[in-house]
Amino acid sequence: MSVPISPTPARWATRAEALAPFLAMEVLERAAELERAGIDIAHLELGEPEFAPPAAATRATMEALARDDTGYTDSRGIWPLREAIAEDLERRFGQSVTPERVLVTQGTSSAMTLVFSCLVEAGDEVLIPTPHYPCYPNFVRFCGAKPIFVPTKAENGWHIDPERVRRAITPKTKAIIIGSPANPTGAVQPREVMEALAQMGPTLIADEIYDGLVYDGVETTSAITLGENHFVLDGFSKRYAMTGFRLGWVVAPESAMRRLQILQQNLFISASSFVQHAGIAAIEEGAQMTADLVEACGERRTLLVDGLRRLGFGIDHDPEGAFYVLADARAFGDDSRALAFELLERAHVGITPGIDFGEAAEGRLRFCYALSPDTIETALTRLEPVLAELSSGASGNLKIGDRNREKEGLA
């Protein structure tokens, strides 16, 4: 008689265990549970504009589907879209880029996967100015490399200090990541900073997904104007409010294109064919929509910043770009994760904990303002009484952390 064999528990790969949760998504997913229970949530946690995509992009998607344009494409993207992206870059930055250096991806997250997989390996170091987009260090760790954080300061507008970066460079430094305009701070790096970083030796990986979303006459500098040996990531999610289309691109050195192509073939095959036609339409006909988005966000930035300051949050500088406010919340609690979930449960407002953006952002909360004025006003109104209670005594801050630890079984 055979003896049943007990299955051996799976041993998860170290690279998967090394990744930290994306707390903005954790907040969103808990908010969805509350909404399924009938609770209305004011969502300020994600970078998701409450604007419709360009009508031409939606129409192009429907037309592509109607003609059954639903098959695989060239792994690098359809040629007309690569041409359109190259032409758009020249229009915006005055820099000629050949379509051969453009690879179309399923959003900028896929672009990051390809670039880090191509460039970074075990033993390398990657410099990350911080506060930073939460996924940057996770991509680095997933490739076996080590993220090295270079802090920026709120009182300096979160601008990168090139000398601080220079001191962090070692023989192991492979790349420097730059987000400008930045998530979560809204900082736009001055051209002299960009030029100084480009001259330091390591490859720049420039995340420019928020390019064009700037205020008060601030100008951006693209890494494509700083030489051909850098990687530039961009896409349609923010500038054209096309988050769910999952369409982005990378402009890469010619020497990297074949490697990126092979990685794309194996990991993702190609971006969706019908969505790529939406990208062409957005570039050709979406300029007015983007202009309207920037104008509206400028007004809503003022609405949110003024409201948060009135409620007791600390904000050193108005954000220069993107559509976020990283506000000092230490008047209400030092544990940003506990505070964000407490405000979700009690005020029914979704906010991203500062710790999601690194230790340099702990004690802060990130708010999105690419939303309707009604959503912003509702959030401020709901937050006011809860924050007033939390700020009434230091003991309340301890209770926030205790309650969240109890929920997680850690108390």
pLDDT in the model for residue 398: 40
What percentage of the chain reaches a pLDDT higher than 90? 89
Helical ranges in 225-286 per DSSP H? 254-267, 273-285
Residues of the chain below pLDDT 50: 394-399, 401-411
Question: How far is it, in rounded angstroms, from Cα 381 to Cα 369?
Answer: 15
pLDDT in the model for residue 392: 80
Vertex 85, ends 236 and 221: CA angle to 5°?
80
Greatest distance between any 2 Cα atoms in the chain: 81
CATH class of 70-285: alpha beta
Identical fold, 17-52+289-395 and 70-285: no
pLDDT in the model for residue 393: 64
* Domains of the chain, residue spans: 17-52+289-395, 70-285
Question: How far is it, in rounded angstroms, from Cα 303 to Cα 113?
Answer: 36
The CATH architecture annotation of domain 17-52+289-395 reads Alpha-Beta Complex (3.90)
DSSP reduced 3-state for 251: strand
Which of 383, 385, 351, 384 has the alpha carbon at shortest distance from 368? 351
pLDDT in the model for residue 18: 77
Peptide bond into 131 cis (omega under 30): yes
